[in-house]
C-alpha cells in the first residue's frame, strides 16, 4: 500500500504478506478478508478506503474494481469539498478584515482602535474575550488591554515580564504564534500566566505577536 497499490487478501490470518502487527490489528476488529485502496494526493498517501469481511472470502475482480472506483470518486469528492470549504473560509476571513478596516479607519485614538479591534475579533472568533499586549523590554513590563465580550468592558493592566516567563513569551519574542487548548494543563505556560488567566476566566488561548 505504501507504493500506492491496492491490497487484497482473502484471509489475513494466513496471508504471508501480512506482518504480525497487521494480523493482530485485523483480529482486534474481527476482520479476516479485506480490500484496501490507498488514497494519494501529489504522490503522498493521505488515507485508505477498506472493505472487510469477518470470514474467509475470495474477492472477485469486479469487487476489487468497484472498490477502486469508489475510492477514486470518494477522493475526488473530498478534494472538491475541501477546496470549496477553504474558499468559503477565505471569503469569510476577507470579509471580516474589510469590516475591521471600515470600523477602525475613522478612529484616531490608539486605545479606541484597540478596543474596537479586540471587540470585533472576539465576536468573529466566538471567543469570550480578546486582548492586546504591548511589550516594554527596556522596563521589563507588559501592558494589556483585555476586552470581555459578555460584559462589553475593557480591563487595562500592567505586569512585570517575569510573570509571563515561559514558552508563551519566548514564542512571542521569536515572532511565533502560540496556541494552547487547555491552559491549566499546559506545561509550557508559567504559573504566573495561569494565575492571570484564571482571574480572567480564560481557559484556552491563541496569541499572535505583532512584529
Positions in the chain whose pLDDT score sits under 70: 1-4
Q: What angle in degrees, to the nearest 10, is found between the helix axes of 110-125 and 61-104? A: 160
CA gap 44, 48 in Å, rounded: 12
Q: Measure the CA–CA gap between 46 and 20, rounded to whole angstroms.
A: 23
CB–CB of 164/193 below 8 Å? yes
3-class SS string, the chain: CCCCCCEEECCHHHCCCCCHHHHHHHHHCCCCEEEEEEEEECCEEEEEEEEEECCCCCCCHHHHHHHHHHHHHHHHHHHHHHHHHHHHHHHHHHHHHHHHHHHHCCCCCHHHHHHHHHHHHHHHHCCCEEEEEEEECCCCEEEEEEEECCCCEEEEEEEEHHHHCCHHHHHHHCCCCEEECCHHHCCCCCHHHHHHHHHCCCCCEEECCCC
* pLDDT the model gives residue 177: 93
Residue 181: what pLDDT? 95
2-47 pLDDT tens trace:
566 888 999 988 888 888 888 888 888 888 999 999 887 777 787 8
Q: Residue 72 has what pLDDT? A: 87
Q: What local confidence, expressed as pLDDT, does residue 1 receive?
A: 52
Is this structure's pTM higher than 0.75?
no
What pLDDT, on a 0 to 100 scale, did the predictor assign at position 176?
A: 92
Whether the Cβ atoms of residue 80 and residue 66 lie closer than 8 Å to each other: no
Amino acid at each position: 500500500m505504501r507504493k500506492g497499490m491496492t491490497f487484497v487478501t482473502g484471509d489475513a490470518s494466513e496471508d504471508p504478506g501480512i506482518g504480525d502487527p497487521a494480523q493482530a490489528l485485523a483480529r482486534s476488529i474481527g476482520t479476516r478478508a479485506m480490500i484496501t485502496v490507498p488514497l494519494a494526493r501529489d504522490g503522498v498517501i493521505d488515507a485508505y478506503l477498506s472493505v472487510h469481511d469477518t470470514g474467509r472470502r475470495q474477492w472477485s475482480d469486479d469487487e476489487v474494481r468497484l472498490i477502486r472506483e469508489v475510492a477514486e470518486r470518494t477522493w475526488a469528492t473530498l478534494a472538491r469539498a475541501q477546496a470549496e470549504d477553504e474558499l468559503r473560509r477565505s471569503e469569510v476571513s476577507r470579509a471580516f478584515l474589510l469590516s475591521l478596516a471600515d470600523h477602525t479607519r475613522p478612529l484616531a485614538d490608539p486605545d479606541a482602535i484597540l478596543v474596537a479591534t479586540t471587540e470585533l475579533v472576539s465576536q468573529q472568533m466566538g471567543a469570550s474575550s480578546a486582548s492586546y499586549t504591548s511589550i516594554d523590554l527596556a522596563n521589563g513590563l507588559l501592558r494589556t488591554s483585555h476586552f470581555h465580550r459578555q460584559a462589553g468592558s475593557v480591563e487595562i493592566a500592567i505586569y512585570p515580564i517575569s510573570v509571563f516567563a515561559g514558552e508563551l513569551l519566548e514564542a512571542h519574542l521569536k515572532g511565533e504564534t502560540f496556541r494552547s487548548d487547555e491552559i491549566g494543563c499546559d506545561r509550557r505556560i508559567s504559573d504566573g500566566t495561569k494565575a492571570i488567566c484564571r482571574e480572567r476566566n480564560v481557559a484556552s488561548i491563541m496569541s499572535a505577536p505583532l512584529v
